[in-house]
Amino acid sequence: MPTYKAPVDDFNFLMWELHKIDQYKDWPGYADLDRELTTAVLSEGGKFCEEVLQPLNQVGDEHGCVLENGVVRTPPGFKDAYEQYCANGWNRLGSPETMGGAGLPGVVSLAFTEMGFSANHAFSMYPGLTGAAMAALAATGAPWMKEHIVPKMVSGEWCGTMCLTEPHCGTDLRLMKTKAVEQDDGTYRLSGTKIFISGGDHDLTDNIIHMVIAKIPDENGKLADDLSTVNFFMVAKVNVAEDGTLKDRNGVACGSIEKKMGIKGSSTCVLNFDEAVAYRLGPKPQPKKEGEKRSSAAGMKGMFGMMNAARLGVGIQGVASAEVAYQNGVEYANERTAGRALDGVKFPGQSADPIMVHPDVRRMLLMGRSFAEGARAVTTWVAILMSQMHHGKTEEEREFAADTQDLLTPVIKAFFTDMGFEVSNAAMQCYGGHGYVRDHGMEQFVRDARINQIYEGANGVQALDLVGRKLARNGGRGVMNYFAHIETALKECEGNEKLSAFAEPLRAGYQALGDATGWLMENAPGDRNHAGAGSVDYLRLFGLVTVGLMWLKMAKVAQEALDQGTDNPGFYERKLTLARFWMERMMPDAGACLARIRAGAATLMELDAASF
């Protein structure tokens, strides 16, 4: 049976020693925060994940969800676990106190989010999407929605979803056919089909609040072939009156649930909207005038915010996948015996040594841990930046925070989920044939992790977003300031021989990133296929350097702790070893990424379609 142990000590190290969150006492939610409080919250939260959610992980995979008489039934134990989850307040850690939440900053709620996804990916989808939908409604909804609907989503009484994809339309939202027709009372009647809707229907709550995008037809009933008439709508499973009382069942129904490769305990639904009562969120879009150029509709602003939050959340799922797969790989490697150590017998009293003695097994496991801890440092930092962009003391601080989290969003979503899958696959490899069968649960980790690279914008799309939009945004201000931040971190380590083993490889990777950025700026404008051909490698290069930046910073903190004397030297020595692994074994890939980027698009585009 698989196991899971929440990494509470690592989260505390990141919060209090690396990122030093005690310097933000004047920010909302941080004033009463101390190490004792975060330890208590994360320890209790980790215990819930370990003892309640994790034992249901394989149950959810074995049973899946079932559609019965138009209603989706979740796997055995999920409903009871959800009730405990909400009763204990784990669903509302980061929600404002004015809405019934605990008011803790995102850096704390993020930590619990990761632990939940490590323990039970499928279960954690339900409250995760609800949080994103709630935040979107709180930002864009009418006053009565904020008064009556948002608090029920905060409490967990009601869940939420995000409805974008249609059978014929995924990333290219211009092709949407779902329409919303305005009524005399200001509401809309929404009709169409949405697919791949996580948590689209289930038995955990009495009501589900769907956040939907649809087009508003013109006076002739025609739909525009662009995004100019797209808007963001709230559609409740059970209609809600403006005084908060429940009314009749709305015109939305689950047509089927997907038969999936993984996360089977999460209901992924086909939703059919048939004249469903819908409420427009945000300004009403105006039809595009002839000759007018528009990249998107103002009415989609709320959905864009929800999508970005969801992409960061999926990146955290990548870290969570790596953590739990790594943990189980280590447990097996210490127990399984096969062969003898290459440099001599280690356990002469046994017929064979544990496979942990073999360098390649250690390589796979160290890759997992160095990624998980390095990526966790990044997501924790970004959670702080998301507070800083609103509460930083200066305009410069707020601007840097906003630009950096915007720049890193596609990197976190794509690189972290790519690595989460790679780590899960490597951890399964440690098991040999036992990893391929279901008993140990490793093949489930691999199947579950694979979806992270696909949903909320496939990773290739994230790479195009980074290269095509994020680099050039605000005249390149964000990437230039981020590069300056890396330069500062490197400069702080100059002359410190103990840190040269970490600083020099990072500088080499950073140089490759700068060269790749320059090559794209010079070559992509003349042939946009160069951007498309190099974007995935560029994003991976960006991710390697970003995680490397965190490892340089962590190595600096760890070395200082050892130099000053600590009662836990093993913790900091392990940090240095993991940092060294990333620099020696992962950072060299930067050069390969740069070479592939410089190869350009010619070979990729040479063959005609019939020649493939």
Strand pairing partners for 233?
A: 212, 280
Amino acid residing at 588: P
Residues near 291 by Cβ (< 8 Å), separated by ≥ 6? none
pLDDT computed for residue 294 by the predictor: 53
* CA distance linking residue 270 with residue 194, whole number of Å: 6
Strand pairing partners for 271?
A: 194, 254
Tell me phi and psi for residue 271, to 5 degrees.
-110, 130
Which residue's structure tokens are 């490759």? Answer: 512
Strand pairing partners for 270?
A: 256
What CATH number labels 8-144?
A: 1.10.540.10
**Which of the following is catalytic: 397, 456, 494, 522?**
456
Amino acid residing at 499: L
pLDDT, averaged per 10 consecutive residues of the chain (612 residues), comes to: 96 98 95 95 98 98 94 97 97 92 95 98 96 92 96 96 91 88 96 96 97 92 86 96 95 96 97 97 72 58 79 96 98 96 94 96 98 98 97 96 97 98 98 95 97 95 96 95 98 96 98 97 94 97 98 98 96 98 98 98 95 96
Q: Do the Cβ atoms of 347 and 354 come closer than 8 Å?
A: yes
* CA distance linking residue 277 with residue 233, whole number of Å: 10
Q: Which CATH class is domain 300-456?
A: mainly alpha
Query: DSSP states of 383-409 as a string?
Result: HHHHHHHHH-SSHHHHHHHHHHHHHHH
Residues near 446 by Cβ (< 8 Å), separated by ≥ 6? 325, 421, 424, 425, 428
> What are the tokens at 346?
């280690």
β-strands 268-281, 188-198: how paired? Answer: antiparallel
* CA distance linking residue 186 with residue 182, whole number of Å: 6
Q: Do the Cβ atoms of 100 and 86 come closer than 8 Å?
A: no
Strand pairing partners for 73?
A: 66
* CA distance linking residue 12 with residue 45, whole number of Å: 14
Q: Which CATH architecture has domain 159-287?
A: Beta Barrel (2.40)
pTM above 0.75, yes or no: yes
Q: Does residue 456 have an active-site annotation?
A: yes
* CA distance linking residue 410 with residue 431, whole number of Å: 32
The total of other beta-carbon atoms located within 10 Å of residue 70's CB is 9
Q: Do the Cβ atoms of 105 and 27 come closer than 8 Å?
A: yes
Query: DSSP states of 191-232 as a string?
Result: EEEEEEEETSS-SSSSEEEEEEEEEPP-TTSPPPSSSTTEEE
